[in-house]
Amino acid sequence: MQNDTENVRVRGSGTQSIYLALRREILSMALEPGSPLDEVRLSERFGMSRTPIREALLRLAADGLVTTLPNRNTIVAPIDFAGLPTYFEALTLMYRVTTRGAAERRNGDIMKRIRLHQNDFADAVAARDAYAMIEANREFHVAIAELAGNSYYTAFFARLLDEGRRILRLYYSTFDDRLPRQYVDEHEEIIAAIEAGDAERADRLAIAHAGQIVRQIQDYIARDLDRSVAIDISQSAEPG
């Protein structure tokens, strides 16, 4: 019985380590959308049986990061660019309601956490560490949502931020990971509005903060589409 318990514990630890490693690679775009995830190769890579590999892939599927095709092959989930307008609409709304709600409440302990996450974000920006930027940004805004005090908003916003990690990675790549100091300063302005209890200003800042992110990503996608069209045209113009 004890051996069975130990085996489950070891397998669970293996599943967690595989899950975290693949999740980081997917979110950082080291594993690009559509990349195959072969259980045999992953088993060889991690030096583990296929059982923890399969369990890790199931967890990633629940996160929406991998998908299984009709032929049962598993791949990194594509980014749903067609669904981005509705995603941006929901994201902007959650920026607004959580930031405004936070300004209407007072909680010193949560404000300390918000400050810590802001410091982490500033450090990541200075280091040009895109993965750390994304993590710190997520924790910063989730802490603000927690301060707002509506657990449903917090859960939904956290899910949106998690779903948008790869989109945010594309966003940061538009700056070659040299994120302007402006984005750190915007966070500082949001903190100041919350601490001042100025809900109207917090709302305006949230709208502006979300708006510039949306515009930057939309511009990136438009440029990428233009490049793809140009390549298609040049290829079709080549003599056969």
The Cα–Cα gap between 143 and 154 comes to 8
Q: Give pLDDT tens digits for 160-186.
A: 998 888 888 888 887 888 888 999 999
At residue 225, the pLDDT reads 61
Alpha helices for the chain (secondary structure H): 2-27, 39-46, 50-62, 84-103, 108-127, 130-148, 151-163, 165-173, 181-196, 199-237
CB atoms within 10 A of CB 152: 8
Q: Kindly report the CA angle at 202 between 200 and 204, in degrees rounded to 5? A: 70
CB 108 within 8 A of CB 65: no
Helix (H, G, I), strand (E, B) or coil at 75: strand
Residues of the chain with pLDDT under 50: 2, 4-10, 229-237, 239-240
Cβ neighbours of 225 (radius 10 Å)? 11
Q: What is the pTM of this model?
A: 0.79
